[in-house]
Amino acid sequence: MDDVRTRLREVRMNEPLPAAPVPHTNPGRTHGDPDANRTSVGERIRILRAAGVAVVVNVPERGLPEVLHWGRDLGGLDADELEQLRLARARPVSPSALDEPWPLTVLPGEQDGWEGRPGFSAHRARQAQYPQWNIIEAHSTADSLRLISTADGLDLTTTFSLDLAGVLRVDHEVTNASDTSLALAALESVVPVDDRAAEVLDFTGRWTRERVPQHRTLTAGSHVRETRRGRTGHDSPFVTALGTPGFTSSTGELWAVHLAWSGDAVYRYDALPEARTLLGAGPLLRPGEIELAPGESFRTPASVFVWSDRGTDGIGSRLHRSLRARSSHPRRPRPVVLNTWEAVYFHHDLGRLEALADTAAEIGVERFVLDDGWFRGRRDDSAGLGDWSVDPQVWPEGLHPIVRKVRSLGMEFGLWFEPEMVNPDSDLAREHPEWLLQPLGTGVRAWRNQYVLDLSRPEAFEYLLESISAIVGEYRLDYIKWDQNRDLIEAVHDGRANVHRHTEAVYRLLDRLRKRHPDLEIESCASGGARVDLGILDRTDRIWASDTNDPIERLAIQRWTELLLPLELIGSHIGPPVTHTTRRATSLDFRIAVALFGSAGIEWDVTSCTPDELKVLREGIACYRRLRGLLHSGELVHPDTGDAGTTATAVIAQDRARALVRIARHATGDRALAPTLRVPRLDPAGRYTVAPVPELPVPRGLDDVAPPWLGHGELRLPGLALAEVGLQMPLLAPGEALVLELIREPS
Ligand code: DGJ
């Protein structure tokens, strides 16, 4: 034992770690508790604490660490109390089991005694690998813990970091320290959750209906959701949350995980009879995909773990705070976008686009984005992808005339690309058929007439970097919409499965481009919202949530996209009166009210608008421009409405001085009067005036029956009364929304 002790090199708190993904704070320091995170040589139990969350990790003499607690903060426990906690948590032998108690480690496997889905799975020339890990180094700071372990022929680095929002990121890096190659099958991060977790929330979806929630009872067994689409996918599990019975948007305790990754993924929870429930995620690796030669390493993307004691809103609130703390988070006001896609599709014509730009500028648009159709041979979706130069037939002077026009009107200019793809009908495919992820003629199947480029080929990578970079430079692009419109099927490089390396190459390409053009903003789009994850968001500034601009559909899609992302990152556009994807007709007022709560824009041929429509649009845009500071910095909550057909969305300023509440109805219900809406998280003692925002009309409501307070100008109530008693909601018709502004009176 002593030998192991001497090998265990403890490194004290102040030792620098590699750059952390987000800035961290020491909650102990912030809250005047100097002992909160102190660790010392010889202490085997580490505690990370931030924003009301504690993670307690036992670093044992043999084997891998165990998470003893992840959840509510436990205060500043001293070394003795931490030891007692370990004792309190120690697992006895269960009936009909191994004779010795066994630990539930951060990388559980049969070598420990764990018989659920392993965290690590590999073989070496068909030799089974059950590594007997031992920790040889433990590096800790106030908010992170890095543990280096070895086993026969393997090194492992496990990193935990808890950021200022209480969001825990965990990843593993395994290195093949032997002289034979190692075929890796799985490397996943798991953390145990409390036994009270009894329900599961995760997501599915399809094109134009992304992030559909599935809320069900937690049942026994190893439950695995796999994604094998080569991209995040419309039906991504997105976030898997385990919660206490009956949890809602605002109530209940939840433990959630998200994988910061845009390739194939595994989301998992294991509820075995003899162990605590484990929650986790990791990259999905196909057979033979990751084979580590001697000395090679593989590092997982981060699994992002979030605990909440106030329902799903508590998860969102921590994630939003965490994202907003990134140095790369967009700081400039999110401009009003006009995207040309649904306005003109592939029919690029300078005169028509100039007229569109004129009208856009008149109504307050700030960024004009030329979508698909500008490059060589791209007259429809059957040709051109891969040939990233301006089509001389459509644009004889290049894009200069439209760029000049847009800039002369005071707007920014953005352009669409789909870098990862190629049409067989393109010069690129004709010249380099070998650049495809699976070469032509080998049974590869088209999807939207296109194939995928193998970005792990250096020549293909460099070609894309240089050709995109040249256009960004020539036109001084402010913005790129980076699209990706197909799943990867049978993706191979030199005969070997290649989703993982391809995804890493996509990230590298984005990183290189951003480094060259630091002011360039990038939107991530994938057939609408098939690439919404924190991996792509580390290198992009906005996501396109869905290809549907139908506000009824969008209400649901955005409501759950908001579980991960704050409003400023979610592209949300006002479409035409009849939505192209659903053929549903909706009012302009409703479309504006829905787009307002996002990174707003327009996707509509506004040259076809009546003067009245333009007036309403102008007012709506003015409203967004006035309120975006609040919308894009405040805390987002979704008060329970008690009516399945009504969604309430509220944004409360961080200083609680102002708030916005949108009540939107998408379906009728069985009540003759609408229920009461309670607005949480306001300043309980502050008195608020409540009134509809002046720029948007008050909806008529069903049968023209409005609650009396709506006809009385402003309502004045303390925050506590608004939270506990609430407001009588109007009985809205489906397709109507009311946006209220709450302003705290000076005290
Ligand atoms: C799919 C995107 O989601 C749309 O917004 C549009 O950019 C088209 N691709 C263009 O081909």
Mean local confidence (pLDDT), 697-716: 88
Give the per-residue pLDDT at 5: 32
**547 is a catalytic site residue:** yes
Ligand 1 pocket test, pick from 231, 348, 370, 371 with the greatest ligand atom count within 8 Å of Cβ, gives: 371
Mean local confidence (pLDDT), 530-541: 98
The reply to whether ligand 1 has any atom less than 6 angstroms from the CB of 526 is: no
In degrees, rounded to 5, the angle at the alpha carbon of residue 233 between the alpha carbons of residues 235 and 502 is 155
- Assess whether pLDDT exceeds 70 at residue 478: yes
Residue with the two structure tokens 């004889």? 396
Model confidence at 11, pLDDT cuts 50, 70, 90, reads very low
Provide the token pair at 583. 């053929």
**DSSP assignment of 281-307:** EEE---TTSEEEPTT-EEEPPPEEEEE
- Assess whether pLDDT exceeds 90 at residue 2: no
| Residue 680 CB partners (closer than 8 Å, separation 6+) | 250, 637, 639, 650, 723
The reply to whether ligand 1 has any atom less than 6 angstroms from the CB of 528 is: yes
Give the per-residue pLDDT at 176: 98
Ligand 1 pocket test, pick from 342, 547, 557 with the greatest ligand atom count within 8 Å of Cβ, gives: 547
Amino acid occupying residue 119: G
Question: Could you give the CA distance from residue 554 to residue 354 in angstroms, rounded to a whole number?
Answer: 29
Segment 494-517, tens digit of pLDDT: 889 999 999 999 999 999 999 999
- Assess whether pLDDT exceeds 50 at residue 7: no
Distance 76 CA to ligand 1 centre (A): 52
Question: Could you give the CA distance from residue 652 to residue 245 in angstroms, rounded to a whole number?
Answer: 27
Q: How far is CA 98 from CA 113, 117, 274, in A?
A: 7, 18, 11
Catalytic residue among 264, 313, 538, 547: 547
Segment 402-411, tens digit of pLDDT: 999 999 999 9
The reply to whether ligand 1 has any atom less than 6 angstroms from the CB of 371 is: yes
Catalytic residue among 483, 533, 550, 683: 483
Which atom of ligand 1 is the closest one to the Cα of 381? 11
The reply to whether ligand 1 has any atom less than 6 angstroms from the CB of 70 is: no
Give the per-residue pLDDT at 441: 64
Q: Which of 4, 290, 297, 284 is nearest to 154 (CA)?
A: 297
Distance 371 CA to ligand 1 centre (A): 7
Mean pLDDT of the residues in the chain: 93
Mean local confidence (pLDDT), 244-270: 98
The reply to whether ligand 1 has any atom less than 6 angstroms from the CB of 547 is: yes
The reply to whether ligand 1 has any atom less than 6 angstroms from the CB of 485 is: yes
Rg (CA), the chain: 27
| Residue 116 CB partners (closer than 8 Å, separation 6+) | 108, 222, 270, 272, 275, 278
- Assess whether pLDDT exceeds 50 at residue 8: no
Q: What are phi and psi of 159, to 5 degrees?
A: -120, 130
The reply to whether ligand 1 has any atom less than 6 angstroms from the CB of 372 is: yes
Segment 593-632, tens digit of pLDDT: 999 999 999 999 999 999 999 999 999 999 999 999 999 9
- Assess whether pLDDT exceeds 90 at residue 293: yes
Question: Could you give the CA distance from residue 275 to residue 91 in angstroms, rounded to a whole number?
Answer: 9
Among residues of the chain, what percentage have pLDDT more than 70?
94
Which atom of ligand 1 is the closest one to the Cα of 526? 3
Ligand 1 pocket test, pick from 206, 485, 604 with the greatest ligand atom count within 8 Å of Cβ, gives: 485
* DSSP label at residue 165: T
Ligand 1 pocket test, pick from 344, 346, 369, 372 with the greatest ligand atom count within 8 Å of Cβ, gives: 372
- Assess whether pLDDT exceeds 60 at residue 19: no
Distance 601 CA to ligand 1 centre (A): 15
Mean local confidence (pLDDT), 131-142: 93
Distance 418 CA to ligand 1 centre (A): 9
Distance 339 CA to ligand 1 centre (A): 10
- Assess whether pLDDT exceeds 80 at residue 264: yes
Give the per-residue pLDDT at 440: 58
Going by alpha carbons, the residue nearest to atom 1 of ligand 1 is 527
Mean local confidence (pLDDT), 682-696: 97
Question: Could you give the CA distance from residue 48 to residue 159 in angstroms, rounded to a whole number?
Answer: 12
The reply to whether ligand 1 has any atom less than 6 angstroms from the CB of 308 is: no
Provide the token pair at 661. 């509440």
Mean local confidence (pLDDT), 280-304: 98
Give the per-residue pLDDT at 438: 79
Distance 617 CA to ligand 1 centre (A): 23
The reply to whether ligand 1 has any atom less than 6 angstroms from the CB of 483 is: yes
Claim: this prediction has a pTM higher than 0.85: yes
Going by alpha carbons, the residue nearest to atom 10 of ligand 1 is 372
The reply to whether ligand 1 has any atom less than 6 angstroms from the CB of 341 is: yes
Going by alpha carbons, the residue nearest to atom 8 of ligand 1 is 372
Q: H or E stretch including 544?
A: strand 542-544
Segment 348-392, tens digit of pLDDT: 999 999 999 999 999 999 999 999 999 999 999 999 999 999 999
Per DSSP, helices labelled H in 44-140 are 79-89
Question: Could you give the CA distance from residue 602 to residue 107 in angstroms, rounded to a whole number?
Answer: 47
Model confidence at 29, pLDDT cuts 50, 70, 90, reads very low
**194 is a catalytic site residue:** no
Q: Convert 167-181 into a string of H (helix), E (strand) and C (coil).
A: CEEEEEEEEECCCCC
The reply to whether ligand 1 has any atom less than 6 angstroms from the CB of 342 is: no
Name beta bridge partners: 63.
134
The reply to whether ligand 1 has any atom less than 6 angstroms from the CB of 525 is: yes
Our CA dihedral for 125, 129, 132, 137, rounded to 10 degrees, sits at 70
- Assess whether pLDDT exceeds 60 at residue 747: yes
Ligand 1 pocket test, pick from 341, 522, 543 with the greatest ligand atom count within 8 Å of Cβ, gives: 341
Amino acid occupying residue 731: L
Give the per-residue pLDDT at 547: 98
Which atom of ligand 1 is the closest one to the Cα of 416? 7
Give the per-residue pLDDT at 536: 98
Going by alpha carbons, the residue nearest to atom 9 of ligand 1 is 527
- Assess whether pLDDT exceeds 50 at residue 16: no
Give the per-residue pLDDT at 34: 33
- Side-chain-facing half-sphere of 720: CA atoms under 13 Å: 3
Give the per-residue pLDDT at 712: 77
